Structure 1
Amino acid sequence: MRLNIPYTDHRELEEIAKVLQTGYFTQGPKVVEFEKMLAAYVGARYAFATSSCTTALHLALAAWGVGPGDEVLVADFTFPATANVVVQLGAVPVMVDICLDTFTMDPADLERRITPRSKVILPVHAFGCSADMDPILEIAKRHNLAVLEDAACAIGTTYKGRFCGAMGTMGAYSFHPRKVITTGEGGMITTDDSDLAERIQLLRSHGGKRTGYWFEYEEAGYNYRLSDILGAMGVAQMEKLDWLIERKRALAGELRQRMAHIPGVQLPVEPAWGGHIYQSFVTLLDDSLDRDRMVADLRAMDIESTLGTYAMHDQPIFQRLFGYRSGDLPNSHRAFRQSLTLPLYPQMEERDLDQLAAGLAQVVAAQRSKGRKNEDLS
């Protein structure tokens, strides 16, 4: 049983065939169509496709003018790309702890870490669950800070009825194969700020602005464009988005029912603000359970699983550059050690759900039994 299988059908092939017939393979009309579909879906004025979510995050921060001497407040429990792009711009990532129920940025810890050098807040909507955005946006407004939403996992996620990626100054999405919709690789930036949009567009393609037949190069920009072939995939995937979200939510609900009796396993929660799309089904294990052993045991049953994601402050690069020590951010540290991602994809059937729940129950029971035996021997 795979961790995830992207859902595609004939529509992706049809849209890609149209591009192949034109011979226009680089960024072109299909990318524009994809951008317009996503912008309309989330309610943003502007959307710019990029080669990945990593380049989207980097481009968004660069367009905002983040550079040496600046601090960016980053949710600590995330994929390294979220913090790497800050380092690549010469700025300092200030790690912020998370709330363990949602795995998202803790607004109280955020407030404590703001300094005069702070420039951007970078919350992460983890695994398809929105961060608690009202207090984050209020803190940003009070301190005159931009908000870049890392919505890599959250296309279609809502917070009190508003779409993630369209609440802050900017949003960034991913279309990696593990996301709800995919283009293979790809990303997108959204914003309502016209000046910022103009700068994003300039920097995305080498810093050049067309004048007649030629370009004038005003900035040392990047090549962060998305090809029209991948844009065509995005168009076909956007048509399925609502159904994919509905399907994943239904499957997550069935998994929750099947796993509710398993001791020591905290299942994903529906936060008070709603809108969880279950891009991934991430559980949190009691400290008495060995997560890494569980991954190995599940794989022996042909059930793929993995960790939730990484605690940035636990990683050697951020410890070496910024002096963090493991455990400095205790909630993120615990999530890094004890989170377990289980399979969830639209093609799953009843027998898959039964196999997954039974497998998890079996490996948990085996570990708890072994733990009791060790206690008796001691």
Structure 2
Amino acid sequence: MIPLSKPDITEREIERVTAVLRSDHLSCGPVIREFETKLATVAGTRYAVAVSSGTTALHLLMLALGIGPGDEVITTPYSFISSANCILYVGAKPVFCDIVPGGFNIDPQAIAAKITSKTKAILVVHVFGFPAAMDEILKIASEHGIPVIEDACEAIGARIDGKPVGGLGVAGTFAFYPNKQITTGEGGVITTNDPYIAELTRSLANQGRSHDRQWLLHERMGYNYRLNELSAALGCAQLERLEAILAARSRVAGWYQEALRDEPLLTLPNPLESPNTQTSWFVYVVRFHSHRLREMIAEELQNQGVECRPYFPAIHLQPFYRSFGYAEGDFPETEKAADTGLALPFFTRMTQSMINTVAAILKKFLHAKGPQQD
């Protein structure tokens, strides 16, 4: 069996977690502060606030920006569902913009047309670790006086013109689920240069407490969105190897690109979707010539012991979102990507032999069945 993803854990991670278990702090201790400092450096920001997940990070940013009922937030329908759900959490409305043709990220040209007097933010997602066209998006946002939030949960270490994603808008988020480039098991972080956003989200994540007040004094309604010391220790050890991990994942992606090139019924991911960018490879998603072919290939791979998954389904066509009146045809580029995309096995320590196995199965089936399903 070749798994879809697999965390990269070494003895260093085990040592750091064990040290916390032997300490006096399992929560709200010094390792959290260390983790936040390291994350702020990665994002190129003054502040980082560790929280329990990328989803909670996005929720807190909605609250910190004062977004609520009657407000609108422009975002993409091609993402993990939490990037849209966080807008609903505060009673606001997600306003979807389609993705660029042939790519994965939100189309900047579509954003301006969706801006209204109700628009309170633009939530950009750097899908699969490919940086979105932030220069264009930030220019549009600046012209209308609208803040930009970066969902960089899949893109730690990605850069645009040498600048890290997660530090380009008013605030950013990262996430560390086990399939991510680095993991804390469960966890996330908010990154920002704004001291107000940093202080408010830190308080909201800790039951509304102020960091310099009494433990049982709650200045506002908050949430239990804290990250624990064990997770932070795991994250600190992972961050020590971040550059090596990203380089290894880039090498795995390069092996895939070499093994699968020249397949006419297969579209490979383009790491240069936006100019002057450095990709942080999260998953490896290929697109097939048709939905039927994608489904047949996925079944064949699974039968051969190769785990794979359609990635991502369109958010606006999820059962819950259909209740808002969305239907097929609303966002054609998103739907095309959702209908034809397939995530292949991809993880840091994947070997070239594994990739050759996946590629051989793909090629054999494409050559035998692909043309019949065109």
Tell me the TM-score normalized by structure 2.
Answer: 0.96
Alignment of 1:310 onto 2:313: yes
SS of the residue corresponding to residue 104 of structure 1 reads coil
What is the identity, as a one-letter code, of the residue corresponding to 1:90? Answer: G
Q: Deviations over 1:348-377 (max 9, x none)?
A: 2221121011111122223324437xxxxx
Alignment of 1:153 onto 2:124: no
Q: Measure how far apart 1:29 and its partner are.
A: 1.0
* 1:117-196 mapped onto 2 (5 Å cutoff): 117-196=118-197
SS of the residue corresponding to residue 100 of structure 1 reads coil
Q: Deviations over 1:21-56 (max 9, x none)?
A: 113111321111011011112211000111000001
Q: Deviations over 1:239-274 (max 9, x none)?
A: 111001111111111210110022211101122222
Q: Could you tell me how far apart the structure 2 residues matched to 1:348 and 1:160 are?
A: 29
In structure 1, the residue matched to 2:298 is 295
SS of the residue corresponding to residue 309 of structure 2 reads coil
Contact in 2 for aligned 1:298/1:363 (Cα 8 Å): no
Of 332, 335, 339, the match for 2:334: 332
Q: Measure how far apart 1:289 and its partner are.
A: 4.7
Q: Could you tell me how far apart the structure 1 residues matched to 2:102 and 2:291 are?
A: 18
In structure 1, the residue matched to 2:354 is 352
SS of the residue corresponding to residue 121 of structure 1 reads strand
In structure 1, the residue matched to 2:99 is 98
SS of the residue corresponding to residue 173 of structure 1 reads strand
What is the identity, as a one-letter code, of the residue corresponding to 1:248? Answer: R
What is the identity, as a one-letter code, of the residue corresponding to 1:337? Answer: D
SS of the residue corresponding to residue 86 of structure 2 reads helix
Task: Flag structure 2 segments of 5+ consecutive residues without an equivalent.
Answer: none
Q: Could you tell me how far apart the structure 2 residues matched to 1:198 and 1:277 are?
A: 29
Contact in 2 for aligned 1:210/1:216 (Cα 8 Å): no
Contact in 2 for aligned 1:101/1:269 (Cα 8 Å): no
In structure 2, the residue matched to 1:82 is 83
Q: Deviations over 1:51-86 (max 9, x none)?
A: 000001001111111100110111110011111111
Contact in 1 for aligned 2:314/2:338 (Cα 8 Å): yes
C-alpha RMSD of matched pairs (Å):
1.4
Distance 1:210 1:4, change over 3 A: closer
In structure 1, the residue matched to 2:19 is 18
What is the identity, as a one-letter code, of the residue corresponding to 1:18? Answer: A
Q: Could you tell me how far apart the structure 2 residues matched to 1:371 and 1:267 are?
A: 19
Q: Could you tell me how far apart the structure 2 residues matched to 1:139 and 1:304 are?
A: 41
Contact in 2 for aligned 1:19/1:229 (Cα 8 Å): yes
Q: Could you tell me how far apart the structure 2 residues matched to 1:349 and 1:212 are?
A: 51
Q: Could you tell me how far apart the structure 1 residues matched to 2:71 and 2:189 are?
A: 24
Q: Could you tell me how far apart the structure 1 residues matched to 2:106 and 2:90 are?
A: 22
Distance 1:344 1:207, change over 3 A: same
Tell me the TM-score normalized by structure 1.
Answer: 0.95
Q: Measure how far apart 1:283 and its partner are.
A: 1.1
Distance 1:351 1:14, change over 3 A: same
Distance 1:210 1:288, change over 3 A: closer
Q: Measure how far apart 1:215 and its partner are.
A: 4.0
Task: Flag structure 1 segments of 5+ consecutive residues without an equivalent.
Answer: 373-378
Which sits farther off after the overlay, 211-220 or 334-343? 211-220
How many pairs are equivalent?
371
In structure 2, the residue matched to 1:47 is 48
Q: Could you tell me how far apart the structure 1 residues matched to 2:113 and 2:83 are?
A: 20
In structure 1, the residue matched to 2:284 is 281
Contact in 2 for aligned 1:68/1:90 (Cα 8 Å): yes
Distance 1:56 1:213, change over 3 A: closer
Q: Could you tell me how far apart the structure 2 residues matched to 1:363 and 1:160 are?
A: 40
